[in-house]
Amino acid sequence: MSKSYSEISRDGFWTNNVGLVQILGLCPLLAVSTSTVNGIGLGIATTLALVFSNLLVSLIRNVVKPEVRIPVFVMIIASVVTVIELSMNAWFHELYKILGIFVPLIVTNCALLGRAEAFAFKNSPDRAALDGLTMGLGFTAVLVLLGTIREILGSGTILAQAHMMFGELGNHLTITLIDNYHGFLLAILPPGAFIGLGLIIAVKNLIDDRNKRQAALQPKIITANLKTA
Partner 1 sequence: MVGKQMSTAAAILGGFAILCAGAVGFIYDSTRVQIEDNERAARVAALHELIPPKLHDNDLYIDAITAESHNWLGSKKAVPVYRARMDDEPIAVIIAAEAPDGYSGTIKLLVAIRYNGELAGVRVVNHRETPGLGDYIDAERSDWIRQFAGRSLTNPDEKQWQVKKDGGAFDSNTGATISPRAVVKAVHHALTYYNSHRDQLFAPATPPQSPAKNPAESARHE
Check binding of 220 to partner 1 (CB under 8 A).
Answer: no
Comparing CA positions, the residue from 222, 140, 155, 217 lying closest to residue 186 is: 155
Check binding of 229 to partner 1 (CB under 8 A).
Answer: no
CB of 84 within 8 A of CB of 143?
A: no
Nearest approach in angstroms of CB 93 to partner 1 is 4
Nearest approach in angstroms of CB 155 to partner 1 is 8
Nearest approach in angstroms of CB 87 to partner 1 is 6
Rounded Cα gap, residues 143 and 151, in angstroms:
12
CA geometry: angle at 126 spanning 124 and 130, to 5°? 115
**Stretch near partner 1 under the rule CB under 8 A, chosen from 11-19, 85-93, 172-180, 194-202:** 85-93
State the CB neighbour count (10 A cutoff) for residue 16. 18
Check binding of 161 to partner 1 (CB under 8 A).
Answer: yes
Comparing CA positions, the residue from 128, 184, 108 lying closest to residue 12 is: 128
**Stretch near partner 1 under the rule CB under 8 A, chosen from 43-51, 127-135, 181-189, 202-210:** 181-189
Rounded Cα gap, residues 109 and 173, in angstroms:
30
Check binding of 34 to partner 1 (CB under 8 A).
Answer: yes
Query: What does the binding site for partner 1 look like in residue numbers (CB under 8 A)?
Result: 31-32, 34-35, 38, 60, 63-65, 67-68, 71-72, 75-76, 78-79, 82-83, 86-87, 89-91, 93, 97, 101, 150, 154, 161, 164, 185, 188-189
